[in-house]
Amino acid sequence: MSDDKRRGGEDGGAGTGVITKTKPKTKKPSLYKVLLLNDDYTPMEFVVHVLERFFSKGRDEATVIMLHVHQHGVGICGLYTYEVAETKVTQVMDFAQQHQHPLQCTMERE
């Protein structure tokens, strides 16, 4: 009698196990650009400070970004997941309002 008959043979024999390849369930989160907008009234030094304080930029990089916004009207402070970007926007808007500067900060999906 064959091995298969003795075992019942229900699985179709050796080496026929079902292989399931499952899709990884993780999805890359969408990223959002946090943008600063230019205006005529917010002091340059305040904008540099905002970039240092809320976006962890060094003075030199913060100055480059501030001048870019000053010259081009808009500039990117960083790329973040939705919740982090939203928090940064709120922090900047609150901080600008506290100091009575019209600085605007917004976010946009990458």
Q: Which residues bind ligand TYC (CB under 6 A)?
A: 36-40, 42-44, 47, 66, 69-70, 103
Q: Which is nearer to ligand TYC, 36 or 89 (CB)?
A: 36
Cβ 55 to ligand TYC shortest distance, Å? 12
CA–CA separation, 7 and 23 (whole Å):
33
Q: Give, rounded to a whole angstrom, the gap between the first and last alpha carbons of the chain.
A: 67
Given the structure tokens 């506290």, which residue do they identify? 98
Cβ 87 to ligand TYC shortest distance, Å? 19
Cβ 89 to ligand TYC shortest distance, Å? 13
